[in-house]
Amino acid sequence: MATFPLAWGERTFIMGILNVTPDSFSGDGLLNAWDPPREAIIQAQRFLQAGADILDVGGESTRPGSRPVTAEEEMQRVLPIIQAIARQFPEALISVDTYKAPVAEAALQAGARLVNDVWALRADPQMAEVVARYRAGLVLMHNRSNPLSVEVRERLGAAYQGAEYENLLEDVKRDLRASIALARAAGVPDDYIILDPGLGFGKSVAQNLELLNRLDEIRALGYPVLIGPSRKSFIGYTLNLPPDQRLEGTAAAVAIGIARGADIVRVHDVPFMVRVARMADAIVR
pLDDT in tens, 173-231: 999 999 999 999 999 999 999 999 999 998 999 999 999 999 999 999 999 999 999 99
- Report pLDDT digits (tens) over 245-264: 999 999 999 999 999 999 99
In a domain, 197, yes or no: yes
- The count of C-alpha atoms lying within 13 angstroms of the C-alpha of 91, restricted to the half-sphere facing its C-beta, is 7
| Selected catalytic residue, list 266, 275, 278, 285 | 266
The range of the structural domain enclosing residue 167 comes to 13-284
Residue 34 sits at φ, ψ, to 5 deg, of -70, -25
Q: Residue 241: pLDDT above 70?
A: yes
CA nearest neighbour of 202 among 23, 61, 64, 17: 64
Cβ pair 108, 127 in contact under 8 A? no
Q: Is 266 an active-site residue?
A: yes
Cβ pair 15, 257 in contact under 8 A? no
Q: Is 93 helix (H, G, I), strand (E, B) or coil?
A: strand
Q: Residue 149: pLDDT above 60?
A: no
In a domain, 72, yes or no: yes
Q: Is 232 an active-site residue?
A: yes
The predicted structure's pLDDT at residue 26: 47
In a domain, 1, yes or no: no
How many domains does the structure of the chain reveal? 1
In a domain, 169, yes or no: yes
| Selected catalytic residue, list 63, 231, 232, 246 | 232
